[in-house]
Structure 1
Amino acid sequence: MPPPTKAIISPLPPFQPDLYIRAWSSHPHPTLPLIATTHDKSVTIFSLSTLSKHSSLTGGHSRSIRSAAWQPSSTPSTLKLVTGSFDATAGIWTYDQSGTLEKNVSAEEDEWEFNLVLEGHENEIKSVAFSPTGQFLATCSRDKSVWIWEEVEEEEWETVAVLSEHEGDVKFVSWMPEYKSQKGRRFGEDCLVSASYDDTVRVWREDMDGEWVCVCVLTEFGGTVWAVEWEKEKEGGEGGICKWRFITACQDGSVKVWQRKDEPEGEEKEENKDWSIPNRMRRELREEWICVGELPRVHEREVYSVCWNKKGVVATTGGDGKLVLYGEDKEGKWKVLGQVEGAHGDYEVNHVVWCRRWDGGRKGEEEMLVSTGDDGVVRGWEVKFE
């Protein structure tokens, strides 16, 4: 299928009720029609089926909740959400569905339990992220550190690494996803990327001794790097062709695409790998990641958020209130597909994410965008491509 050349972006009805206070970010559940929005000291979970409130998580933190992440789980009857707060802690919440997976789920407020607090950071936690299997949790903070936690038993977590090489607040952490090769195998690596106020991005991996080390530092930025997003596995099972890239959003308005220099671009080299050898033993500790593309400069202020869907379409938003979509042609050139001025009126837009559509009887096959702003509104956007 040829890449899209134009996107028509239309607003859907805002999620109800309005939050009436600055909202930081929204995080869709990977399989259920739920999306968690962080704001003040709370998380509001909305139903993607009705675009209305499903439940609230309150009472766990003493300061504003900045980020959240759903834990991938082999026991889908229990939902687990981790929150990162300005009170310097990460909280773990669970909701027992009692074995049911109703698509139009509803919950009472007391059905969510605040089970555990992860402590160690000295200042505000800015971002939390789970590795693809859910084994590791990464948190980052204003204290300039990244912590990696491991769930060793149910509701028992241990700190496996404290990474302190950044020289400024660490704004964002993101794990490399799993991909599927053309032979149907799942593969991926425990690779973590962090973005910071020190105008750098760092790539981290576990070495043969079980120590987490920085294998690359990217410095080609004109200010704080606010967010990082990995390329998704392409629709149609073409993950083996994926170039293992990530994209960065920066204070200077730039949006750049990065790729590991020695990474194969197709199935031929991937087939030659010896998959019986652990990933960390197949490479040197130092890696070279290079900028392989920069998206057209559209934003007039900082870019706070970037997301990448399975069609290869990138969405950005930020301090100027714009919502912008970009596409990549077969030659690797990026162009603007469409944009919305003032997506949340005069307010800054803090976050944008792709998620599956369940409203109007849909079954999750289509996608929409969800934006979250200083106006306390969580807004869905219908996107049609030409």
Structure 2
Amino acid sequence: MPHLEIVAILEGHQDRVWQASWHPTKTMLATCSGDRTVRLWTPASHDDFSKWHCVETLEGAHKRTIRSVAWSPTGNELATASFDATTGIWENDPRENDWECVATLEGHENEIKSVSWSSTGALLATCSRDKSVWIWEVESDNDFECLSVLQEHTQDVKMVAWHPKLEILASASYDDTIKIWKEDEDDWYCADTLEGHTSTVWSLDFNAEGDQIVSASDDQTLRIWKMYKPDNPQGIPTHNGEATWKTVCTLSGFHERCVYSVSWSKMNGHIASVSGDNSIRIFEKTQDSEASIDDDAPTWKNTTTYKDAHGVYDINGVSWFPGKQHSDWLSTVGDDGLVRIWRLVQD
């Protein structure tokens, strides 16, 4: 059976760590914390990954907890979402090798829970406890224009995530739903509402192709949703010429408490989830039979479990490494203020 081995433990944050975001092309990790800072970490050497250094601390831009951090697709910018209701845009000056907060986006009424860049880097999405999702257009000279304020969720919006290839946005909410947002002639609208979870949806992630989503909920389950386009061969009904999303697999009975975060590896196809039960679980799609290969009724197996991964503390986030060179790595962050990097070892 595969198992998880610890690669490194990163110490430095002075409060709980909420999220970790891998650089799109480098072996670098950005983490954000209740201590109002973002830390950038890299290995101390190219051949020893057990020791990591904090190479930069981004601070001074936010007055409260930084809840979410996201790299732009180029890796030249970072976005930070804070409980102070602002989003910070940080830019790297390669001449000085220094990071500066070059823009502050305002408008949300309450804590911002998540920030995400589109695959091209042309758009930014934020979501908040004020029940809204904002879509921003990235303009020249560090200007950002709010294109749309989407207010169809009826509760706190926990997370936003862009499709890996298209300008399609998904949002997860305290109202137990996921919404899919698309653009139509400069206006954004809700193309589908995904219903099935019986409590807060905390986290979601697309697969590499973008035709499936995994979601994690307070109801202690993971759901895998598949997109069905109009006139699909399966005969799944669609409305108004829009694709519809349906649950094709529900993973229950694994986590014993709220599932806070989920990550779908774009490299190896595995799903990782973390929970208030302090465990990491890895799921792999089984290929045992004809039925399990079928994407309309896939079978997923929990192949790896690591209990007490952050001791007695809640684990707030999990994220697979995005590139091939360390496709078996994932990071976790917790209320213990620590960042852990793991390797999935295939026995």
Instruction: Specify if TM > 0.5.
Output: yes
Tell me how far 1:365 sits from its aligned partner.
Answer: 4.5
User: Which residue does 1:82 correspond to in 2?
Assistant: 79
User: Which residue does 2:146 correspond to in 1?
Assistant: 159
Which residue identity lines up with residue 264 of structure 2 in the other structure?
Answer: W
User: Which residue does 1:44 correspond to in 2?
Assistant: 39
2:273 maps to which of 309, 313, 316: 316
TM-score normalised by structure 2 residue count: 0.89
Matches within 5 A, 1:328-367: 328-330=285-287, 331=292, 332-355=298-321, 364-367=325-328
CA distance in 1, matches of 2:327, 2:224: 25
Which residue identity lines up with residue 55 of structure 1 in the other structure?
Answer: E
Which residue identity lines up with residue 262 of structure 1 in the other structure?
Answer: K
Gaps of 5+ in 2: 45-50, 234-238, 293-297
CA contact (8 A) 1:141 1:171 kept: yes
CA distance in 1, matches of 2:128, 2:326: 36
Pairing 1:385–2:346 present: yes
Is the alpha carbon distance of 1:141 and 1:364 closer, same or farther for their aligned partners in structure 2, counting shifts above 3 Å? same
Is the alpha carbon distance of 1:88 and 1:342 closer, same or farther for their aligned partners in structure 2, counting shifts above 3 Å? same
User: Which residue does 2:9 correspond to in 1?
Assistant: 14
Which residue identity lines up with residue 247 of structure 1 in the other structure?
Answer: V
Pairing 1:30–2:2 present: no
CA distance in 2, matches of 1:36, 1:341: 25
CA contact (8 A) 2:259 2:275 kept: yes
CA distance in 2, matches of 1:131, 1:140: 14
Three-state SS of the structure 2 residue aligned to 1:171 is: strand
Three-state SS of the structure 2 residue aligned to 1:116 is: strand
Which residue identity lines up with residue 188 of structure 2 in the other structure?
Answer: W
CA distance in 2, matches of 1:355, 1:339: 18
Pairing 1:115–2:116 present: no
Pairing 1:325–2:282 present: yes
User: Which residue does 2:228 correspond to in 1?
Assistant: 261
Is the alpha carbon distance of 1:243 and 1:161 closer, same or farther for their aligned partners in structure 2, counting shifts above 3 Å? closer
CA distance in 2, matches of 1:123, 1:336: 37
Pairing 1:299–2:255 present: yes
User: Which residue does 2:174 correspond to in 1?
Assistant: 197
User: Which residue does 2:244 correspond to in 1?
Assistant: 288
CA distance in 2, matches of 1:368, 1:340: 14
Pairing 1:176–2:178 present: no
Tell me how far 1:10 sits from its aligned partner.
Answer: 1.2
Structure 1 stretch 315-324 or stretch 6-15: which is displaced more?
Answer: 6-15
CA contact (8 A) 2:89 2:101 kept: yes
Which residue identity lines up with residue 244 of structure 2 in the other structure?
Answer: E
Three-state SS of the structure 1 residue aligned to 2:8 is: coil
Tell me how far 1:285 sits from its aligned partner.
Answer: 5.5
User: Which residue does 2:95 correspond to in 1?
Assistant: 98
CA distance in 2, matches of 1:156, 1:264: 41
Which residue identity lines up with residue 250 of structure 1 in the other structure?
Answer: S
CA distance in 2, matches of 1:341, 1:333: 23
Is the alpha carbon distance of 1:150 and 1:249 closer, same or farther for their aligned partners in structure 2, counting shifts above 3 Å? same
Three-state SS of the structure 1 residue aligned to 2:321 is: strand
CA distance in 2, matches of 1:216, 1:86: 28
Gaps of 5+ in 1: 1-5, 100-106, 179-188, 233-241, 267-282, 358-362
CA contact (8 A) 2:153 2:175 kept: yes
Is the alpha carbon distance of 1:263 and 1:65 closer, same or farther for their aligned partners in structure 2, counting shifts above 3 Å? farther
Give the alignment's Cα RMSD to 1 decimal. 2.1
CA distance in 1, matches of 2:195, 2:276: 22
Is the alpha carbon distance of 1:30 and 1:57 closer, same or farther for their aligned partners in structure 2, counting shifts above 3 Å? same
CA distance in 2, matches of 1:27, 1:61: 18
CA distance in 2, matches of 1:37, 1:264: 43
Tell me how far 1:152 sits from its aligned partner.
Answer: 2.2
CA distance in 2, matches of 1:223, 1:296: 14
1:244 maps to which of 211, 218, 222: 211
TM-score normalised by structure 1 residue count: 0.80
Is the alpha carbon distance of 1:258 and 1:264 closer, same or farther for their aligned partners in structure 2, counting shifts above 3 Å? farther
CA distance in 2, matches of 1:306, 1:175: 15
1:229 maps to which of 205, 214, 231: 205
Tell me how far 1:67 sits from its aligned partner.
Answer: 0.2
Three-state SS of the structure 2 residue aligned to 1:98 is: coil
CA contact (8 A) 1:28 1:36 kept: yes
